[in-house]
Structure 1
C-alpha cells in the first residue's frame, strides 16, 4: 500500500466544510475577496483552481480562457502575468496569483488546489512549499497527481472522479492519493466504507442541499464542497 495512504487525518464530529471557489454568490469566484468572505462565513477550507501564465506565474482561475470587455478571448498560458491584469473579474477584481491567495489566507483555512493543466505541477508545488500554507492538491488528471507526489511526497493529494465505470478505490491506490473527490450523486455508504478501508477520505462535490448534507453526514463522508457555504457552515447536524 502506498505510504501516503497510511497517513489519514481522523474525521472530526462533522464533515469538513469546503467552500467551492469561495463565496461567489456576491463576489467574483476564485478571487481573494470571495475566499476571505467564505472564511468569515465559517468555511474550514477553500477549493480553488489554478493555471499558469506564459512566464510561469500560477494564477487562480477555473477556465483556461479569459475575456474582458472590448478584448478578444485569450488563453491564460499564452499571456504573461502582466498581460493577465488586463482581464479583470467582475467589479474590477484582478485574477489573483496563487502566491497572493496563499498570503491572504495564511493559516485561517486549508486550501484545496485543483491543477487544471499538466506541466505546471512544479510551479504549483514551489508556491505551496515557499508559503508553508496548509494545502492539498487534486486533479481530474491522475497523471498530474502522480507528478505532484513524485516531486512533493509529503503533500496530501486527491483524485476527482465523476464516472460510474471507474473504480475510485483502485484509482486512489494506483495514484497513492489520500482523498477521493467524488461527484455527490455517485456517493453511497458502500463507497465511503471502501474508501475508509484503505485509510483514505471521501470529499463530496458539489453538494448544495440540506437533504444531501444530512445523508452525507450519516454515511460518514469526510468533507463537503459546496456553493452554499454560509448555509453549510451554520447547518445543524
Structure 2
C-alpha cells in the first residue's frame, strides 16, 4: 500500500485555533506532509487566511473580511492574543517543509493567489509541486486555470465525485478533494485510473481513517495529524 499524505486541516485544528500560525506550527511539529488553509481577499487587497466570509466566529470582532482593511483585521484577536495571519506570513512560517493546499474560499482570490505563487517560484525557488490550489467554486478554479494553467488544481466536492471529475477534466486539475463520505473503493480506483489524485477531507475518527486508507487514497486532510 502506498503512503497516504497526512495533511493538517487549517493547520492542526484539533489542537490550536484554526488557520493561525500556532496551528500551522503545531501541524509542522506533528510532521505533516501538507497543510490546508483558506483564503479571502480583504478590502486593501491582501490575502487573509481565514475560513469564514466574516470574522465573527473566529475573532473578537465582527464584519465581512472583504470589507475590512488589513490594519483592521490585524487589530483583531483570536483567543485573546493571536493575530489573523496573511497568506505570506503562513508561507514564511511553513517554508518548503511541506505541501501547501490553498483553498480559494472567497471571491476574486484566484488572481492574487496565482501572483503570490509566481512570486515564490521566481524569487524563493519554490516549485509548482509545492502548492495545490483547491476550491468548491467553479469560477475561481476556471479563473486560476485561465491565468496560469501550471498551477496545480484540486476540485473540492461535498456532493458528487462524478461532478468533481468533470470539473477536474475541464480545468486539467491534478486532484479531486471529495468529502470522505462520498468515497468507495470503486470510485477511488476509477479516479486514479483517470490520472487524478484524491485528497479527502475531513477525517478525524481513527476507524474512518483506517477504512479510507484501505482504499489506497493519496491524502487525508484531518484536524488531528497524529492519527494518520
Distance 1:50 1:108 in 2: 20
One of 150, 153, 169 as aligned partner of 1:173: 169
Poorly superposed stretches of 4+, deviation over 6 Å: none
Indicate which of 203, 216, 219 corresponds to 2:215: 219
Cα-Cα RMSD: 1.7
Q: Which runs of 5+ in 2 are unaligned?
A: none
1:184 equivalent to 2:180? Answer yes
Answer 1 or 2: higher relative contact order, Cα 8 Å, separation at least 6: 1
1:111-122 equivalences in 2 (<5 Å): 111-122=100-111
- Equivalent runs, 1:33-182 vs 2, <5 Å: 33-67=22-56, 68-69=59-60, 71=61, 73-132=62-121, 133=126, 134-164=130-160, 166-182=162-178
Distance 2:89 2:167 in 1: 32
Q: Structure 1: which 5+ runs fail to align?
A: 1-11, 233-237
The residue correspondences of 1:9-48 to structure 2 (distance < 5 A) are 13-48=2-37
Give SS of 1:224's match.
strand
1:218 CA drift (Å): 1.6
- Counterpart Cα distance in 2 of 1:107 and 1:92: 27
Asked whether the equivalents of residues 146 and 176 of structure 1 are also in contact (C-alpha less than 8 Å), the reply is no
Distance in 1 of aligned mates of 2:160 and 2:44:
38
Q: Given the two structures, how large is their TM-score scaled by the length of structure 2?
A: 0.90
After superposition, the C-alpha distances for 1:60-116 in whole angstroms (9 at most, x for unaligned) are: 0000101354x5x21110111111112221241110000111111101111100011
Q: What is the number of residues matched between the two proteins? A: 219
